[in-house]
């Protein structure tokens, strides 16, 4: 008998990284299998079993989304899922994200959940502190709320929110789930706040060098704006080294003119390097934010805000009054020097006195559910 984790690696590693932390902790006590729905992420899962449901070759890399949404490919993944839960005798399934995100794969996820339900597998929904925003159109919004209601009412045993209710409750005006009285009525009794998920073994920050890491992901227009501005002002900080992981196609941003700018393809084990660096500039995604809170590295968070995607913006400005890190928006980024000055001058963030034991707490909850059969 095992505990299964269903996640999806597509455009970023955040979701898979959270599942990695939780699954590896759970594997200390139980047999575990991680199932990646679409592709194999570049992560070293230290668990007994892994299964990549999308174990196929993409014929045209420029048409990935069209390919993975074809009916035969979807059926292939569903069949792989069925084989996996039967092979490893999955007793509890942790479904990461859905129904609060991954709506474009809703029909497929319903099949996964239905296959679990008819086999008596307990379904646990795992969601970050701030779920994906609702679509613009009322018709789509109704579909999202309907999907959430159906999944939570008829399939979910528990909803594990990887955050702290005292900071950012799942059901609030900010998370936009308060728009539906029915949703509140049906899912609130199922919710357990686990605390924030992180590498709980990570030591606290203690500066040993003058490196400042600029990490904003790849192939984003905002990233280029950030890199260009940092390259423009880097000469004001000759004693500091600015390390920018950025795709080769953006190497023309002008940073090579400054001796203290280092453009690299990527920074291996960046999380470990934050422990002794001078500062960190990053977007406000869940994992990056939690790494800052856990390590207390002096940081500047630049929340991405694009149309309805308000997750990073809401999280950053919920935390900003507590002085866990400095916040500057893209609209304000031309004034980054004044904020960076504070980091270089020895800014010390306030300690995060909220729940950072989400990894251990989630593993405990899953063990309790597993043993309660």
2-200+356-371 matches 211-344 in fold: yes
Ranges of beta strands (E only) in the chain are 2-7, 32-36, 49-52, 90-96, 122-128, 156-162, 191-193, 211-215, 241-245, 261-264, 279-282, 299-301, 326-327
Highest-scoring range by mean pLDDT, 5-9, 72-76, 83-87, 280-284: 83-87
CA distances from 78 to 6, 26, 54, 111, 318 (A): 12, 25, 9, 7, 39
Gap between the Cα atoms of 295 and 210, Å rounded: 17
Predicted local confidence at residue 181, as pLDDT: 47
Q: Indicate the SS3 state at residue 213.
A: strand
Q: What is the largest CA-CA distance in the chain?
A: 64
Res. 3: pLDDT tops 50:
yes
Mean pLDDT value of segment 133-154: 63
Mean pLDDT value of segment 51-78: 83
Nearest CA to 208 out of 275, 297, 262, 260 is that of: 275
Res. 96: pLDDT tops 80:
yes
Mean pLDDT value of segment 99-104: 81
Q: What is the DSSP-derived secondary structure letter of residue 332?
A: G
Q: Indicate the SS3 state at residue 211.
A: strand
Residue 60: its H or E element? none
Mean pLDDT value of segment 73-93: 96
Please state, for a pLDDT cut of 90, what percent of the chain lies above it. 52
Which tens digits make up the pLDDT trace of 220-267? 677 778 888 888 899 999 999 999 887 554 555 554 557 888 888 778
Highest-scoring range by mean pLDDT, 42-51, 81-90, 260-269, 270-279: 81-90
Q: What is the pTM of this model?
A: 0.89
Gap between the Cα atoms of 42 and 222, Å rounded: 24
| Cβ-Cβ contacts under 8 Å for 105 (sequence gap 6 or more) | 8, 37, 98
So where are the chain's domains? 2-200+356-371, 211-344
Predicted local confidence at residue 197, as pLDDT: 96
Compare 303 and 170 and report the one with higher pLDDT.
303
What token pair was written down for 180?
A: 């539906």
What token pair was written down for 37?
A: 């729905």
Q: Read out DSSP for 62-115?
A: GGHHHHHTSHHHHHHHHHHHHHHHHHTTEEEEEEESTTSS-GGGHHHHHHHHHH
Predicted local confidence at residue 308, as pLDDT: 62
Predicted local confidence at residue 188, as pLDDT: 81
Q: Please state at what angle helix 106-118 crosses helix 71-87, rounded to 10 degrees.
A: 30
Mean pLDDT value of segment 145-151: 74
Which tens digits make up the pLDDT trace of 154-191? 899 999 999 999 888 877 666 655 555 455 566 788 89
Gap between the Cα atoms of 111 and 45, Å rounded: 26
Compare 119 and 132 and report the one with higher pLDDT.
119
Please state, for a pLDDT cut of 70, what percent of the chain lies above it. 85
Highest-scoring range by mean pLDDT, 85-89, 217-221, 233-237: 85-89
Which tens digits make up the pLDDT trace of 10-31? 767 788 999 999 999 999 999 9
Handedness of CA 135, 113, 195, 295 (dihedral sign): negative
Mean pLDDT value of segment 50-68: 80
Predicted local confidence at residue 136, as pLDDT: 45
Measured at the CA of 225, the angle between CA 224 and CA 230, to 5 degrees, comes to: 95
CA atoms within 13 A on the CB side of 182: 11
Predicted local confidence at residue 125, as pLDDT: 94
Handedness of CA 170, 176, 178, 184 (dihedral sign): negative
Mean pLDDT of the chain: 85
Write the Ramachandran bin of 196: left for phi over 0, alpha for psi from -120 to 50, otherwise beta: beta
Mean pLDDT value of segment 284-302: 94
Mean pLDDT value of segment 92-119: 91
CA distances from 282 to 32, 170, 292, 326, 344 (A): 32, 24, 10, 11, 16
Res. 330: pLDDT tops 50:
yes
Residue 133: its H or E element? none
Predicted local confidence at residue 187, as pLDDT: 78
Predicted local confidence at residue 139, as pLDDT: 46
Measured at the CA of 11, the angle between CA 7 and CA 17, to 5 degrees, comes to: 45
Gap between the Cα atoms of 183 and 153, Å rounded: 9
Classify domain 2-200+356-371 at the CATH topology level.
Answer: Rossmann fold (3.40.50)
What token pair was written down for 154?
A: 């008829």
Contact 32, 13 (CB under 8 A): no
Lowest mean pLDDT among 35-39, 72-76, 134-138: 134-138
Res. 217: pLDDT tops 90:
no
Q: Domain spanning 211-344 has what CATH number?
A: 3.40.50.2000
């Amino acid at each position: 008998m095992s505990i299964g984790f269903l996640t999806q690696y597509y455009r970023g590693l955040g979701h898979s990284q959270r599942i990695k932390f939780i699954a590896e902790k759970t594997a200390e006590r139980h047999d575990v299998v991680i199932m990646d729905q679409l592709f194999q992420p570049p992560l070293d899962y230290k668990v007994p079993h892994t299964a990549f449901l999308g174990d196929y070759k993409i014929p045209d890399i420029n048409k990935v989304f069209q390919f993975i949404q074809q009916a035969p490919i979807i059926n292939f993944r569903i069949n792989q899922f069925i084989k996996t839960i039967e092979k490893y005798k999955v007793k509890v399934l942790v479904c990461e994200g859905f129904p609060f995100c991954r709506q474009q794969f809703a029909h497929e996820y319903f099949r996964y959940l239905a296959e679990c339900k008819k086999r008596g597998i307990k379904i646990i929904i795992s969601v970050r502190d701030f779920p994906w925003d609702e679509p613009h159109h009322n018709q789509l919004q109704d579909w999202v709320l309907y999907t959430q209601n159906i999944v939570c009412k008829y399939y979910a045993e528990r909803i594990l929110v990887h955050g702290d209710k005292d900071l950012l409750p799942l059901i609030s005006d900010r998370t936009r789930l308060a728009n539906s009285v029915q949703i509140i009525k049906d899912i609130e009794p199922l919710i357990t706040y686990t605390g924030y998920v992180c590498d709980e073994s990570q030591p606290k920050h203690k500066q040993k060098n003058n490196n400042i890491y600029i990490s904003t992901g790849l192939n984003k227009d905002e990233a280029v704006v950030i890199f260009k501005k940092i390259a423009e002002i880097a000469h004001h900080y000759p004693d500091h080294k600015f390390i920018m992981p950025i795709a080769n196609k953006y190497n023309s941003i002008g940073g090579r003119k400054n001796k203290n700018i280092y453009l690299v393809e990527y920074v291996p084990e960046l999380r470990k390097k934050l422990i002794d660096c001078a500062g960190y500039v990053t977007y406000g995604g869940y994992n990056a934010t939690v790494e800052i809170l856990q390590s207390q590295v002096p940081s500047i968070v630049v929340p991405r805000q694009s149309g309805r995607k308000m997750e990073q913006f809401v999280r950053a400005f919920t935390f900003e009054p507590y002085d866990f890190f400095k916040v500057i928006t893209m609209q304000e980024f031309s004034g980054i020097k004044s904020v960076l000055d504070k980091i270089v001058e020895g800014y010390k963030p306030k300690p995060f006195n909220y729940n950072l034991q989400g990894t251990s707490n989630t593993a405990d909850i899953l063990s309790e559910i597993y043993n309660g059969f």
